[in-house]
């Protein structure tokens, strides 16, 4: 076998900080064949037939939920969507009660999106079902980090040695954290660039370089992962105005041209065109933003598939009765 067999992910996928480079690579490799399934006339394989998955979205996120739902349906799982509005959560039910209720209905997996950092782990520690973190507060969004890694690897055929700069609101971004851990574990150099008001305290201690000026970041980087500037940050006073943000930190055609070489552009979406990224960059030849969306489904299929499997230590015993 070219890749190590073993307990690939454990029970849950909560973040990339706790995964090894081997585990991350195994997920990316598993995603490769899953890409092709979405190209088939019948975009469905029976691997999770009979599995029940609940998409528990305590925060709105249409695109992440849809991506997970596609992944689940293409693996033939039965899915139930659960969102904060119209659920018992809005009636004051606690997360732990929600967890116990889901468990009592004998579901196999929960995909959770929640506004509180650490909520995915909180849930995972209290139920036996597999838990996939689809974004917890400002902590992690591991499948987004993985799909970004896959997209970068598709383009460069490697991650190690690449220079990747994450730009924008690092402070409030779970995407930034998942990217940072995943990229570093796979050997990339990671930098961040944004107004100091939007960088976490002691971010350098997380092993990243900080660029004060976007021009310096562009000069340095092979890849820019441009984060969305959430508009509510303006009300928080973190930046004075969107116009100023674009002038000082926007990823613009002119700034990229000055670098004089090709830089791969990622954006986790949804974009604020003309704020953190200009349209001609987002739609330009080096943008892989739509490929990120495509890869998102494959990555989520891979994660669900790897989590759904039985205990690998039983694999040897079962092989003799297997079909080969």
Partner 1 sequence: MADPQRKTMMTAATVEQTLARMAGEIVEQAAGAESLVLVGIHRRGVHLATWLAGSIQGSHPDLGIATGTLDITLYRDDLMTVGPRPVVGPTRLPTGGIDGRLVVIVDDVLYTGRTVRAALDELADFGRPRRTLLCVLVDRGGRELPIQPDIVGEMIPAPPGGRVEVLVPEIDGNLGVVLVGGSAD
Partner 2 sequence: MRPVLIRGGRVIDPSQRMDATLDLLLHGGAVVEIGERLDAPEGAEVFDAAGLVVCPGLIDVHVHLREPGGEHKETIASGARAAAAGGFTAVVAMPNTSPPIDNPASVGFVRSEGMRAGGARVYPTGAITVGQKGEQLAEIGEMFAAGAVAVTDDGRPVMNAGVMRLALEYVQTFDIPVAVHEEDLALSRGGSMNEGVIASRLGLTGIPNAAEDVMIARDLMLAELTGGRLHVQHVSTRGGVELIRAAKARGIRVSAEATPHHFALTDQAVERYGTQAKMNPPLRSEADRAAVVEGVRDGTLDVIATDHAPHHYDEKEQAFEDAPNGIIGLETALGLALTELVGRGVIDLPTLVERMSCAPARALSLPGGTLRLGSPADVTVFHPDEEWTVDPAKSLSLSRNTPFRGWKLRGRPVRTLVEGRTVWAAERP
| DSSP labels, 101-170 | HHHHTT-SEEEEEESSTTHHHHHHTT-SSEEEEEEETTTB-HHHHHHHHHHHHHHHS--TT-EEEEES--
Cβ closest to partner 2, residue 144 vs residue 294: 144
Cα–Cα nearest to 257, from 278, 228, 236: 278
Position 138 contacts partner 2 (CB under 8 A): yes
Q: Pick from 219, 239, 120, 256: which is nearest to 172 by CA?
A: 239
Binding string to partner 2 for residues 146 to 175, with x set by CB under 8 A, is what? ----------------------------x-
d(CA 233, CA 197): 10
CB within 8 Å of 166: residues ≥ 6 apart: 173, 176, 179, 180, 190, 191, 192, 193, 225, 227
Residue 2 interface partner, choices partner 2, partner 1, none, CB cut-off 5-8 Å depending on type: partner 1
Of the residues 64, 79, 167, 294, only one is catalytic, namely 64
| H/E element, 23 | helix 21-37
Q: Which of 113, 114, 121, 267 is catalytic?
A: 113
CB of 296 to partner 1, least distance (A): 18
- DSSP-assigned states of every residue in 224-281: EEE----THHHHTTSSS-HHHHHHHH-B-HHHHHHHTS--EEE--S---BTTTB-HHH
Task: Please confirm whether the linkage preceding 270 is cis (ω < 30° from 0).
Answer: yes
The yes or no reply on residue 202 touching partner 2 (CB under 8 A) is yes
From partner 2, partner 1, none, which one binds at residue 58 (CB under 5 to 8 Å depending on kind)? none
CB of 3 to partner 1, least distance (A): 5
| Residues 282-311, mask of contacts with partner 1 (x by CB under 8 A) | -----------------------xx-xxxx
Sole binder of partner 2 in the list 17, 18, 103, 219 (CB under 8 A): 17
Q: Which of the listed partners (partner 2, partner 1, none) does 118 bind, with a CB threshold of 5 to 8 Å by partner kind?
A: partner 2
Which phi and psi (to 5°) does residue 163 adopt?
A: -110, 115
CA distance 310 to 316: 12
For 143, the token pair is: 């499948």
**Residue among 196, 117, 151, 98 at smallest CA distance from 299:** 151
Catalytic residue among 51, 65, 141, 300: 141
Q: How far apart are CA 25 and CA 28, in angstroms?
A: 5
Q: How many residues in the chain?
A: 324
Helix, strand or coil, per DSSP, at residue 6: coil
Q: Does residue 118 belong to the site contacting partner 2 (CB under 8 A)?
A: yes
| x/- track of binding to partner 1 for residues 22-51 (CB under 8 A) | ----xx-xx-xxx-xx--xxx-xxxx----
Task: Specify whether 64 is catalytic.
Answer: yes
Q: How far is the CB of 308 from partner 2 (least distance, A)?
A: 26
Check binding of 315 to partner 1 (CB under 8 A): yes
In this chain, which stretch among 137-145, 217-225, 279-287, 288-296 interacts with partner 2, using CB under 8 A?
137-145
Stretch binding partner 2 (CB under 8 A), from 89-97, 244-252, 261-269, 284-292: 89-97
Choosing from 12, 140, 154, 222, the residue that interacts with partner 2 (CB under 8 A) is: 140
Q: Using CB under 8 A as the criterion, which residues of the chain lie in contact with partner 2 when the complex forms?
A: 17, 94-96, 114, 116-119, 122, 136-140, 174, 177, 200-203, 205-206
Binding residues vs partner 1 (CB under 8 A):
1-3, 5, 8, 26-27, 29-30, 32-34, 36-37, 40-42, 44-47, 75, 305-306, 308-312, 314-315, 318-324
Show which residues are catalytic. 63-64, 91, 113, 141
């Amino acid at each position: 076998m070219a890749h190590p067999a073993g307990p690939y992910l454990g029970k849950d996928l909560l973040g990339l900080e706790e995964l090894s480079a081997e585990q991350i690579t195994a997920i990316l490799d598993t995603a490769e064949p899953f890409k092709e399934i979405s190209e088939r006339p019948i975009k469905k394989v029976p691997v999770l037939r009979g599995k029940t998955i609940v998409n528990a979205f305590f925060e709105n996120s249409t695109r992440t939920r849809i991506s997970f739902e596609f992944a689940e349906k293409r693996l033939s799982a039965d899915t139930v969507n659960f969102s904060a509005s119209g659920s018992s959560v809005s009636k004051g039910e606690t997360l732990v009660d929600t967890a116990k209720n889901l468990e009592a209905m004998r579901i196999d997996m929960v995909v959770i999106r929640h506004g509180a950092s650490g909520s995915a782990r909180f849930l995972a520690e209290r139920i036996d079902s597999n838990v996939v973190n689809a974004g917890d507060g400002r902590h992690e969004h591991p499948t987004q980090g993985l799909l970004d890694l896959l997209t970068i690897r598709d383009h460069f055929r490697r991650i190690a040695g690449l220079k990747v700069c994450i730009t924008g609101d690092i402070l409030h971004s779970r995407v930034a954290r998942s990217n940072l851990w995943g990229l570093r574990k796979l050997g990339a150099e990671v930098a961040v660039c944004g107004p100091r008001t939007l960088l976490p305290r002691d971010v350098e201690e997380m092993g990243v370089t900080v660029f004060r000026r976007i021009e310096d970041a562009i000069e340095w980087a092979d890849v820019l992962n441009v984060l969305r500037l959430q508009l509510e940050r303006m009300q928080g006073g973190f930046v004075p105005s969107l116009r100023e943000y674009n002038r000082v930190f926007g990823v613009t055609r002119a700034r990229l041209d000055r670098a004089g070489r090709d830089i791969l552009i990622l954006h986790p979406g949804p974009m604020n065109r003309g704020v953190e990224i200009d349209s001609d960059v987002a739609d330009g030849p080096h943008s892989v933003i739509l490929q990120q969306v495509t890869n998102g489904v494959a990555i989520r299929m891979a994660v669900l598939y790897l989590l759904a499997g039985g205990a690998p230590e039983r694999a040897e015993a079962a092989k003799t009765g297997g079909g080969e």
